[in-house]
Amino acid sequence: MLDLKGNRVLVTGGAGFVGSHIVDALVACGADVVVYDNFTRGKRENLESALSTGKVEVIEGDIRDTAKLDKAMEGVDYVFHEAALWLLECEQNPRLAIDVNIIGTFNVLEAAAKHKVKKVIAASSSSVYGDGLYFPTDENHPFNNYLFYGATKIADEQLLKAFYKQHGLNYIALRYLNVYGPRMDYRSAYTMVIISFLKRIEAGEPPIIYGDGSATLDLVYVEDVARANLLALTSPLTDEVFNVASGKETTLNELVELLLKLTNCNLKPVYQPRDSKLVTRRYGCPKKAKEKLGFEAKVSLEEGLKRVIEWWNSLRDKVS
């Protein structure tokens, strides 16, 4: 286990899905954690365990609020930047996407540079690749994005490079593939499919697959993603981007089949037309992260889905 005792670490979006798991990992490493979240998507219950340790301070704030962000950054050693507008909302409100994901990121980096933060670990996305030109998709793949969300993540990566070159602000950007696990946001574009399948299975209704079921995901468990973030933090590398991927391709048909097996259900899926704007294949190359960060996804899809089912069963009444 890493030793981060005596380090003050700020996590934007720290009450959210990935952010709260990063907070848990930081607390386990002895860090003093500042969660900066406006609670639009984040939930205080995601921080219940971390808050019980007394090692976590919560600041309710927006990354567009430069004064509050500047104050929160005082005395901070490291930053994990997870706050962002989610994919579908970016497509529905692109001006807000630019305001939150690009200008908000600029605000975070500006405050971090001002307060001499040692390193920023920032959440990027495989959306920067758009439709893959080859598979598995590695970090050298050109930007082939056509979504507003992906455009904001490309811009964020460029801002990170600019702050590094002009202000010496060290960083690593992590391009997440399809993250899933407990606390997942059931409203988001890709991970929501697991919850939507489970809700219909629970109701005795056939899961709905959009398209013919051949669309693929590279599903990586959230605790593995949190571990990748900490490995990036403690790595001597800077000015780098890495995929955070399982390196395994799963079709929607395979995903449904596994969920039906784990829930002991004999329903058959039904098929409906798929949104043509969404990418039909995700399959990331994990080689660079393994070689340079020592990161490799450990939680199998079957084990991860078992944990998701247990979590969902514990709270489904609250979100149904």
Q: Which of 36, 78, 149, 190 is catalytic?
A: 149
Length of the chain: 320
Query: Partners of 179 in the beta sheet?
Result: 220
Supply the DSSP symbol for 275.
P
* Residues 57 and 261: beta-carbon distance below 8 Å: no
Supply the DSSP symbol for 137.
B
Does the annotation count 149 as an active-site position? yes
Report the alpha-carbon angle 48-46-183, nearest 5: 145
**Distance between first and last Cα of the chain:** 38
Rounded distance, CA 295 to CA 50, Å? 24
Secondary structure (3-state) at 52: coil
Rounded distance, CA 150 to CA 279, Å? 11
Rounded distance, CA 151 to CA 234, Å? 28
Task: Kindly list the catalytic residues.
Answer: 149
